[in-house]
């Protein structure tokens, strides 16, 4: 089967000044994932690599670029889904994992539960070899400034790059026909502590997997 890879950086009204940065980030994520797929690697490895690039880029609402919650903390969610079995692995409200998609994958592969949250998810991630960071290392300068404006005045979408910035995501199919989808998000700005987007993320991931009797659409996205 011909490998294919799709990457998105969130469905939102991108300001003109952020368009180039968003395009650049998506292209770099696409390149990271496609390097794996084009070399015969797995779809699971490809989507993880692509999402990690997006999580490390402060222009996206995931990982380091995540919106802050009402108390000024980052709380990240991520999910990975297997298109063949519809089994998923999810991590929610993470504060000390730089790449939440790594924790979600470990849950998919090595955990009897579909989802782990907060400190329990972080303890599991650490046992799986994922290094934990300090919560403040997850806070980008842009989102801290936005949160401070909301704190000193009132919450307003214009303080942020986009209140409806949403998730980042990717879907890939490899040469063996394995299909995987993944999404990652920091949620909405100034959300209540403990709020999770996992129900929405799982629904989004499910829409990217084939239904019984259907086959995946023949789409291919390659680095330009």
CB atoms within 10 A of CB 160: 23
**Residue tagged active-site, from 93, 167, 185, 188:** 167
Whole-angstrom CA distances from 117 to 35, 106, 122, 136, 208 are 32, 13, 8, 19, 24
**What DSSP line would sit under 137-185, residue for residue?**
GG--HHHHHHHHHHHHS---GGGSS-TT---EEEEEE-TT--EEEEEEE
Residue 207: in which H helix or E strand, if any? Answer: helix 198-207
Whole-angstrom CA distances from 15 to 38, 163, 215 are 33, 12, 36
Known catalytic residue at 167: yes
Residues recognised as catalytic: 167
């Amino acid at each position: 089967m011909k490998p294919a890879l799709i990457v998105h950086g969130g469905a939102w009204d991108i300001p003109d000044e952020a368009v180039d940065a968003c395009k650049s980030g998506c292209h770099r994520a696409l390149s990271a994932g496609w390097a794996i797929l084009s070399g015969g690697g797995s779809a699971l490895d490809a989507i993880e690599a692509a999402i990690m690039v997006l999580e490390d880029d402060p222009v996206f609402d995931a990982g380091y670029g995540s919106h802050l919650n009402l108390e000024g903390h980052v709380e990240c969610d991520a999910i990975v889904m297997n298109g063949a079995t519809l089994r998923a692995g999810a991590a929610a409200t993470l504060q000390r994992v730089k790449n939440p998609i790594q924790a979600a994958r470990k849950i998919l592969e090595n955990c009897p539960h579909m989802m782990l949250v907060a400190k329990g998810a972080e303890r599991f991630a650490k046992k799986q070899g994922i290094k934990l960071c300090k919560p403040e290392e997850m806070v980008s300068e842009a989102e801290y400034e936005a949160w401070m404006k909301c704190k000193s005045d009132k919450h307003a979408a214009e303080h942020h790059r986009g209140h409806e910035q949403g998730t980042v995501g990717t879907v890939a199919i490899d040469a063996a026909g394995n299909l995987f989808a993944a999404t990652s998000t920091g949620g909405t700005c100034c959300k209540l502590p403990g709020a999770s987007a996992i129900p929405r993320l799982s629904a989004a991931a499910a829409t990217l997997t084939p239904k019984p009797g259907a086959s995946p659409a023949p789409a291919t996205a390659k680095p330009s």
